[in-house]
Structure 1
């Protein structure tokens, strides 16, 4: 019969301390390297222009940012998919799925 109580292993505090030191050293080295590898990401925020002022009415809040051309989500133009039918593409009849 299995018991719910597990025997705990003795804790080696020296090993845990060494692991902690290594983690701190890796984090410190990563902090030094980060600006050289990923510093370009901080420049992107400087390129973004500020948002227009927030409208005073609740109705005007809907889509207030999308009225500005440089803030629109469709920065590469509208996406037109048209109406397609999966059934027609496979050459199946509509009754085949009922």
Structure 2
């Protein structure tokens, strides 16, 4: 049967420190070697950036037909109207639901949803057991 007590491994701090020093040494050496092995990638990256800028400038000069042009964005003030908030209540208990108590700030603008309590089976004059 397994026990709930976990055995802890002894840690050799000197050994852990040597491993860390070796990792740092390898990383520094790799940083020195990288430009000689992979430095060509930086030149290709800079060249592709220049090519992208050139293509964007060339695409900006295109005369698109009206149905493909992007329309300017509509300002939010045109379709969003924000009124002033009611005053903040004086007590902490009154803070709960203080905005929803205002009729013009309620979330349900079109009234509450009501569900009828009718039974389709009773409307047809059938018994409830007839549909089992």
Q: With structure 2 as the length reference, what TM-score do the two structures score?
A: 0.39
Greater relative contact order (CA < 8 Å, ≥ 6 in sequence): 1
Higher CA-based Rg: 2
Q: With structure 1 as the length reference, what TM-score do the two structures score?
A: 0.50
